[in-house]
Structure 1
Amino acid sequence: MTLPDTDTRPENTEQTSDDQPEVFHYVSKDKIAESAVMGSHVVALCGAVFPVTKSAKPGSPVCPDCKEIYESLPPGGGDE
Structure 2
Amino acid sequence: MQTDTIERTETDEQVDDGTDSDRPKFFHYVKKDRIAESAVMGTHVVALCGEVFPVTRSAKPGSPVCPDCKRIFEQLKT
Compute the TM-score of the two structures, normalised by the length of structure 1. Answer: 0.79
Q: Distance in 2 between matches of 1:9 and 1:56?
A: 5
Match of 2:37 in 1: 34
Aligned sequence identity (%): 67
Does residue 6 of the first structure (1) align with residue 3 of the second (2)? Answer: yes
Compute the TM-score of the two structures, normalised by the length of structure 2. Answer: 0.81
Gaps of 5+ in 2: 11-15
Relative distance call for 1:40 and 1:67 in structure 2 (3 A) is: same
Q: 1:23 Cα shift?
A: 0.2
Q: Which amino acid aligns with 1:70?
A: F
Match of 1:54 in 2: 57
C-alpha RMSD of matched pairs (Å)? 2.0
**Count of matched residue pairs:** 72
